[in-house]
Structure 1
Amino acid sequence: MTAKVVVLGAGYAGAGAINQLEEELDSTTELTWVSDTDYHLVLHESHRCIRDPSVQENITIPVEEIKSPSTRFIQSEVVDLHVDDQTVELADGDTIDYDYVLVTLGSQTAYYGIDGMRENSLTLKSLDDALEVHQAVKTAAKDATRNDPAKVVVGGAGLSGIQSAGEIAKFRDEHRAPIDIYLVEALDEIFPGNDPEVQGALRKRLQEADIEIMTDDPIVEATEDAIHFDEGDPLSYDVFLWTGGITGRDALDGADLEKEHNRVNADATFQTSDDRVFAIGDSAIIEQNDNPAPPTAQAAWQAAEVAGKNVARAIENRPMKRWTHKDKGTVISIGDKAVAHDVMGVPINTFGSFPAENLKKLIAARWIADITSWKRAMTAWSDL
């Protein structure tokens, strides 16, 4: 009897899992891949499009270059997952039957109930988002003067917020645009929860890029032209980009699975409360000793390999592998510069300059090579 396996999503987790599943599954299994885009976006490089939209050519990988001809691909939005019926509901009304489904739908921006945030901010969760931010910054700069510069505010000083602010600064510098940039964080330091050494290194480079950092005062409201703080004076803006956090996708609203903030709870084998549903990437909260696995590209890459093996093992009724996330370090770009921290195998705890910048490129290139080829990765090198 033919087993039907369906993978939902074309992010890091989805693309990586497709590669692994094609290795693990035999010809008696029907593999279907569903995504609302017909390409994989190298999301941790999408901020590059804020500075230069042409970068999109090298960070969007067509699914046809990733999957084998035997894998069926359906371009459609997933709107629901019916675990009792073992079906996936699509936006056009069609359904897909499955024996096993791997949920890798990623996440969407969390607004934390802040008044006006959803209505008045831009986000950075897709290629279209990045291009919209680029156009908004470009338009604001065009209408500004040296005496009345455009104000661009980035809310949230995590990985995405820091890198986005850096790209906006490079756009400003390359175009000699009259733009003031503000990076706003509710907590008392940028890159919250991380080593003070890397926080200090990032702060230094952001300040060198003439980005004003505002911390320790949460946003309580966003209007169409200003953000309002718990304590400080309002900050007017021409462009407001919010990168403050993530939550699960709406498609999982009605799924009868254990969830937190619409992210599916999964154990270290990636099985959920329904043993025919697996989940990895930002869609999932994956059990890992004291803390769940982080919602990062690195974790998704690692999980995808084991998830592909475990779906195959479930079909064959074999014991599944348990996954443990291994943090191999962090590399963050600020424009053309970068900071690396706690990189596995490197004796220096935090470093920048040429080594960090090229390590950042190598990480993205390695991922592109893994799902396609080194030829494509090297073509993309200058844009990474």
Structure 2
Amino acid sequence: MRVVVLGAGYAGLTLARRLESHLPAAVDLVVVDESDTHLVQHELHRVVRRPAVANAITVPLTDVLDRATVRTARVDRLDREARCVHLDDGSLNYDYAAVCLGADTAFYDLPGVEDHGLPLKRLDHAHRIRESFLDACDADGRATVGGGGLSGIQVAGELAALAEERDADVSVTLLERESTVAPAFPESFRTAVRDALDAAGVAVHTDARVTGATPDAVELADGTVPYDTFVWTGGIRGPAALGGDRRVVRGDLRLDDHTFALGDAARVVDADGEAVPASAAAAIREAGTVATNIDRLVRDDPEAGDFSPRLDPFRFDAPGWVVSVGDDAVATVGPKVFTGAPARAMKATVGAGHLSSVGAVTRAADLVHEELG
């Protein structure tokens, strides 16, 4: 029997490690990812200002996986009916699979946005943003970030802090289509984030509907915003292997009887009917449920009857939220909102806690050092 985990991000790596511990020894466990390293995605914005952080937030998969076979390949297509994964270097059949491929940047077919907007999904993206922004600093130019979700907030904060460190007269503008930044989060969190952005010197434009981009300006429904550096974090789409769709999965997190989807690759509706946000916290918790259920299915005795084993439902209880804004941070725990040193400590703890949970203890310590100095 073969179990395949597609993707080694938060959901995929957490799931694979749990399956290593629980699956019967005879089961073939394969992890497929186009990279041979795990990336702590929610710390990627730090690399824009501090390139050395890259060493702390990338972990070779062979360092944190013991039993699983790691196959470095791109997933091109998933044939669920045939239970076959088509890769760029061949194919792989499975008995059970988990799609944990994350999400790609969505450009919404806005003219020029994909051509000119720099995404932030991989290390090379962070390096490109840094290079472009340093050029803008030398010219006392302008940076524009499209998208006021957590990723956009964090990269805007890093750019403003980098400009201050270099004593450069660079304007940083954050554009958000909705009436507030971090629109998917509680009001108290949104308000504190907006205050932190204002304090960092980021100019925030809400109700700003982007309609396109040229080589030197972002086009809005009611005007233009010039730029020297343009970063686009305006949304996500499903992985190419799923045709760009983020398929809806419900409490059992299954696409079909043999295929699960979790993390940002899917639109998750939990067992209580609540939409689950695309976040690292959600992905890690979903992986725990899927690991239990795959193990239960694998161990099911087909001779015992016609009934499938009962699967655990997934329910998401948000532990709180945290976002960095340059050298500041905003965090929530229950109804309480924290900023300053307590929030910065929480932010460092989140990344370090994840690294520790996947066995990268040394890198966890390095990240705390980079975050808190």
TM-score in same-fold range (> 0.5): yes
Separation of aligned partners in 1, 2:242 and 2:185? 31
2:281 corresponding residue in structure 1: 298
CA distance in 2, matches of 1:13, 1:383: 25
Q: Which of 228, 232, 238 is matched with 1:242 structurally?
A: 232
Give the SS at the match of 1:234.
Answer: strand
* Structure-1 residue corresponding to 2:265: 283
Of 84, 91, 105, the residue aligned with 1:87 is: 84
* Corresponding position of 2:133: 137
CA contact (8 A) 1:48 1:383 kept: no
Note if 1:366 corresponds to 2:358.
Answer: no
- Native 8 Å contact 1:100 1:276 kept in 2: yes
SS state at 2:2 partner:
strand
Q: Which amino acid aligns with 1:292?
A: A
**What amino acid maps onto 1:119 in structure 2?**
D
Shift of 1:194: 2.7
Query: What is the letter of the counterpart of residue 91 of structure 1?
Result: D
Does the alignment pair 1:379 with 2:366? yes
Question: TM-score if structure 1 supplies the norm length?
Answer: 0.91
Pairwise CA distance, 1:208: 1.2
Residues 226 and 33 of structure 1: is their aligned pair in 2 closer, same or farther, counting only changes over 3 Å? same
The alpha carbon displacement at 1:373 in A equals: 4.2
1:1-384 alignment, distance < 5 Å = 3-68=1-66, 70-92=67-89, 94-142=90-138, 144=139, 149-231=140-222, 233-253=223-243, 262-272=245-255, 274-288=256-270, 289-317=272-300, 318-341=309-332, 343-344=333-334, 349-384=336-371
Unpaired runs of 5+ residues, structure 2, are 301-308
Spell out, residue by residue over 1:150-190, the C-alpha distance to the aligned partner (whole angstroms, 9 max, x if none).
11000111100000001111111111123110011111111
SS in 1 for 2:35: coil
CA RMSD of aligned residues (A): 1.3
- Looking at structure 1, the residues matched to 45 and 360 of structure 2 have their Cα atoms a distance apart, in angstroms, of 23
Q: Alignment partner of 2:314: what SS?
A: coil
Deviations 1:220-268 (A, max 9, x none): 111111111112x211111110111111011112xxxxxxx61122221
- Divergent runs of 4+, >4 A: none
CA distance in 1, matches of 2:19, 2:123: 26
| C-alpha separation in 1, matches of 2:190 and 2:310 | 42
284-293 or 221-230, larger mean C-alpha shift:
284-293
Q: Amino acid of the residue matched to residue 125 of structure 2? A: D
For residue 53 of structure 1, give the secondary structure of its aligned residue in structure 2.
Answer: coil
Q: State percent identity of aligned pairs.
A: 34
Structure 2 counterpart SS, 1:357: helix
- Counterpart of 1:205, as a letter, is A
d(CA) in 1 for partners of 2:63, 2:180: 41
SS of the aligned residue for 2:162 comes to helix
Contact 2:112–2:213, Cα closer than 8 Å, also in 1: yes
What secondary structure, in the 3-state scheme, does the structure 1 residue paired with 2:52 have?
A: helix
Deviation at 1:205, TM superposition (A): 1.3
Structure 1: state its 5+ residue gaps.
254-260
Give the distance between the partners of 1:167 and 1:47, measured in 2 at CA: 7
| C-alpha distance in structure 2 between counterparts of 1:177 and 1:357, whole Å | 25
Q: Give the length in aligned residue pairs.
A: 362
Q: Secondary structure of the residue that 1:333 maps to in structure 2?
A: strand
Residue-by-residue CA offset, 1:302-328 (whole Å, 9 max, x unaligned): 111111111111112332111101101
User: Which stretch has the larger CA shift, 367-376 or 115-124?
Assistant: 367-376
